[in-house]
Structure 1
């Protein structure tokens, strides 16, 4: 007797996660431009999925602020709100500076700081040059500073902000010069924290975040302009 083969069912939640990942990547890569409108049917055809997982993915993206539902007329990629992003960067700066102050007040440096030192206190030939990988480590550097403070609620709020600004923050690493700047500035900030120079560490951190904020805004405006030109030429 030939045994019956059992096939694993693809759970709706898994399909919804796949749809979410693909749609978010399209938004991040400017395949969809801010203000673009679409229907659930159009997106289902694009992703080759039924409307149910696509709708779940869209509601998740809506909660994160990437899309918005339009009354009786489908969905829209949320227009860029640079004022909102600047406010989020301001809150991020406040949280990270508060974490630095707590870290400098600790009798002993927490293990997380040592882990960060092992990654960022390296000679130039040992630096990570793969830009996507470095971008992830850059994000984690800032999250781990807050996590190392031991304030779980502060870390949770900071993580939420990190998720919301990722769509433009990752663009910072489209310029190779940012690799050297990132290593140098992270090392200076870490050294000041380890040596408990609280005021200097906070000043360095604020300047680092402000420079990043300025760079990503300029790059975002430039990339949006290029994406709109490309869309017009292909129309």
Structure 2
């Protein structure tokens, strides 16, 4: 038959290569699209609004997303991903990047570097990744107050189109279905801060009530630093 195929016709891709070859499966558009960096961050914000059940655990996930440069951003939330002492990492490729955070792993796959830090009161670990692969074992670091996870990404400029950059219009990060949050099981609490602007403009997403905050405001809904 003309349509027959064999094992020789099947290509098995590693996760990183799969993401880079088929970014539309994760982000909806390709890397040469001018909105690609913005779309990547928006998809991450959407994930934080409706995370995996094991991360949400019946509560509202509180998140702060910080934009540091055209292709650099950090997301911090109050869910710790620390493994028990003496147990394997258990994340992607035995890293500190938890398997529940599949979208974070996809973004790491298109980044030149990713740093993962997780803490739970008196204990904290930090690890650098090259793509999704650890460059070294996770190492102990001073713990931040409370509990949480912080992941810093720097998107790979060689993978993107010319002049690629995250937009300065924070309203672009409001998910289109935010107004129908209840129907889509969205219940996050997010503050987005753009450190590229002198005023430090912020946008707060409270499920169905997004609004731009005055940078001089004392409001800090996520209580994460």
Query: TM-score of the superposition, structure 2-length normalised?
Result: 0.33
Q: Normalized per residue, which structure has more helix?
A: 1
> In terms of Rg, which structure is larger?
1
Q: Normalized per residue, which structure has more strand?
A: 2
Query: TM-score of the superposition, structure 1-length normalised?
Result: 0.32
